[in-house]
Chain A
């Protein structure tokens, strides 16, 4: 079955450490997105990529970095510059214009 796979499901970060969240899709979608969700809040866009080797900052990109070397993969690195990284991170992808975004199961990141 086609879908989006995020790993790990749970991740703990130590002070000063960078951590990378994985997102892989086999839907052959061009566009991929990273969102952050805080308790009781909606989703906020961190980064998005419409095509391989290109990505753009969303509303809350500070302290995060991404790469898009392959169509299927869009990893997110939470750097030590992100002082409040505890949140639920969701990766999504979409195909044609106006089609809904498909979401992965998320990664829950916490501070040790």
Chain B
């Protein structure tokens, strides 16, 4: 059974600082996703990581995947207020023959303060 754990669950940052969110998963998963959710809103896809060593960057966010360590990270560089949101990682799972189902972590609520 695939389990996904994120830490920290809450993160308060100052603008301009760097920080990393960690996502550990319990069993082999061949894909890892990062999503962003603003309060009361839907989820927006940020990154898809499909192979060991994969690194993707978009603006101030960079995601990486280490399948041997079963670890993905989301690194935030020089945080700005607009990055305040909840960030979820999700691992892919073959669920009853399906290859599209995801197991989500509990999310990391990020608050960037001036």
Contacts and interface: CB of A to CB of B under 8 A. Distances in A.
Interface in B92-114: 92, 95-96, 98-107
Report whether over half of chain B's contact residues are helix, strand or loop; otherwise say mixed.
strand
Interface in A92-112: 92, 94, 97-106
A44 B101 CA distance: 11
Interface residues of B, number: 27
Given A42-B105, A105-B41, A105-B42, A100 B33 contact: yes
B76 interface: no
Interface residues of A, number: 26
Interface stretch (B13-21, B43-51, B64-72, B77-85): B43-51
B42 A97 contact: no
A28 to B, nearest CB: 15
